[in-house]
Structure 1
């Protein structure tokens, strides 16, 4: 009897573990997210499957949100097309998805100005150590609420196209 109870318990544990995604977050089984679009002026992020919007989120941007990121420290969020190229499950902003900024053009533009283009641009949650006092507070990243980045983190795969528009 004990062996049967152990076997049933072990099978249930394995089945439940299969329902969890990365880092114990719920798994996502819906339509594939084929692209991410950020409309900076509307402060919105959209997860798309083809032309269909699967989810949308309000976002915070860099502390100087107007215009394309030109160099490190300018407080702007990039504009253009990039890829989701990495993820950080231990981010100081809960969870984060990396954006492939800077590209070759971004590097050349910053170099012509005698500056570094910067990097480490992410979609991320809220800081673990303080509460932002305004909407646009990042150094150039895209910020959402922690519950939202958990959902985005499970839905968006590395290699997904992200387009950031003015």
Structure 2
């Protein structure tokens, strides 16, 4: 219950701060130092980088083709919802660079087992699709991933510098 209350308070803090600061692309992230929380708000296609409860930078994101709702099974084109960890970085990703999200967690695995389905995995924050004919800005206007969270390569370089392995991520509806 305490974790749920803390998550709800974090969500409210991020939402209020986002309303007060509607700019999604502030100055470069390189001088901001390390972040201690990443928050994704799926309904707003937004990723926020926080430290000590304060938003340091926000990005417009692309997600899976069917972003509404929690990811239930492999191939459903959904981005999961809940609290996870950014557990490792992959510098040789097929989508520029990527940071792995620890989906599925134990709750996701239990749900999938009860439903007799595979929960899927390999959900990442990553850069652009190198095969896309669209510019980075055009591609970000569409949900095109298989459930991952996509930002431009330039933005991925910023995030890469300020997000360490082990940083928590909360993914909200």
TM-score > 0.5 by shorter chain: yes
TM-score (normalised: structure 2): 0.77
C-alpha distance in 1, partners of 2:31/2:156? 17
Deviations 1:65-113 (A, max 9, x none): 0000001001100000000001110111000000000011101111222
Scaled by the length of structure 1, what TM-score is found? 0.80
- Distance between the aligned counterparts of 1:80 and 1:131, measured in 2? 33
Q: Which residue of 1 aligns with 2:160?
A: 153
Query: Which of 89, 113, 116 is residue 114 of structure 1 equivalent to?
Result: 116
Choose the corresponding residue for 2:87, options 81, 85, 93. Answer: 85
Equivalent residue for 1:17? none
1:58 to 54, 60, 63: 60
Q: CA RMSD in A?
A: 1.6
Do structure 1's residue 142 and structure 2's residue 166 form an aligned pair? no
| Structure-1 residue corresponding to 2:24 | none
State the distance in 1 between where 2:91 and 2:58 align. Answer: 22
Q: Deviations over 1:7-35 (max 9, x none)?
A: xxxxxxxxxxxxxxxxxxxx945332010
- Who wins on radius of gyration, i.e. which is larger? 1
Count of equivalent residues: 140
